[in-house]
Amino acid sequence: MSKAITASLVPLFDRLTGVLHASPDGRLLDGGGLQHSLQLDLMRLFNVRNALTIRAYLEGDPTVLDYGLPDMLGLSPQSDQDLFIWSQVLERSLALYEPRLSHVKVDVTADPAKPFAARAAIAAVVLLGQQLCRVNFDVALDARSAAIQAAA
C-alpha cells in the first residue's frame, strides 16, 4: 500500500535561493519548511508598495504588476476604522498573491508598545501533501514595513 506524503513542493523561487527545510532531493518541504517558505513570501509581499490607492486596491482588480500593498502612510493604528482597513488590505493581498493559503483570517490591533505601529494576527489553512494544516503568523506593521514571525 502506498504511503501518504505529508510534504509540499518547494516553490521555484525557494529552490533558486536555496530554502532551508527541504528534503534531500530539494523538491519537497516538510511542515516547518512550508511555514518558513510562507513566512518569507509574506515578508516580501508586505514590504513591497504598489502605485494603487487603498480604495483602488480593495475595489479594483489588481494584476501581477500591482504586487505588494498600497501606500498606507495615511492610516493610523490609533483609529479602529484604519485598523479595519489595514486588515482588509492584508486579506486582499493574501487572496491575490498567496494562493497556498485559504480560509484566511486577519485581525489587526494597535501595538501597545509602539504608538505608531500595529500588530496583525494571521490565521490560515495550507495544504501539506493531502493534509490541511493551520498556520499562524504574527506581523508587526507600520506604514512603511512589516516584520513577520510564525506564531505557535
**Which H, E and C letters describe 21-81, residue by residue?**
CECCCCCEECHHHHHHHHHHHHHHHHCCECCCCHHHHHHCCCCHHHCCECCCCCCCCCCHH
Residue 116, SS3 per DSSP: coil
Torsion of CA 10, 12, 17, 18, to 10 degrees: 30
pLDDT tens track for 45-97: 999 999 999 999 999 999 999 999 999 888 999 999 999 999 999 999 999 99
> Is residue 93 domain-resident?
yes
pLDDT at 4: 45
Stronger pLDDT, 76 or 150, i.e. the higher one: 76
> Is residue 66 domain-resident?
yes
Q: How many domains would you assign to the chain? A: 1
CATH of residue 16's domain is: 3.10.450.40
Structural domain including 100 reads 8-150
> Is residue 17 domain-resident?
yes
Q: What is the biggest distance separating any 2 CA atoms in the chain, rounded to whole angstroms?
A: 58
pLDDT confidence band for 1 (50 / 70 / 90) = very low
Residue 70 is placed in which grid cell?
498600497
> Is residue 108 domain-resident?
yes
- Give dist(CA 78, CA 143) in Å, integer: 13
pLDDT confidence band for 34 (50 / 70 / 90) = confident
> Is residue 3 domain-resident?
no
pLDDT at 15: 47
> Is residue 2 domain-resident?
no
Of the candidate ranges 10-19, 20-29, 79-88, 105-114, the one whose mean pLDDT is the lowest:
10-19
User: Do residues 123 and 105 make contact, with C-beta atoms less than 8 angstroms apart?
Assistant: yes
> Is residue 22 domain-resident?
yes
**What is the chain's alpha carbon radius of gyration, rounded to the nearest angstrom?**
16
pLDDT tens track for 103-131: 999 999 999 988 889 999 999 999 887 88
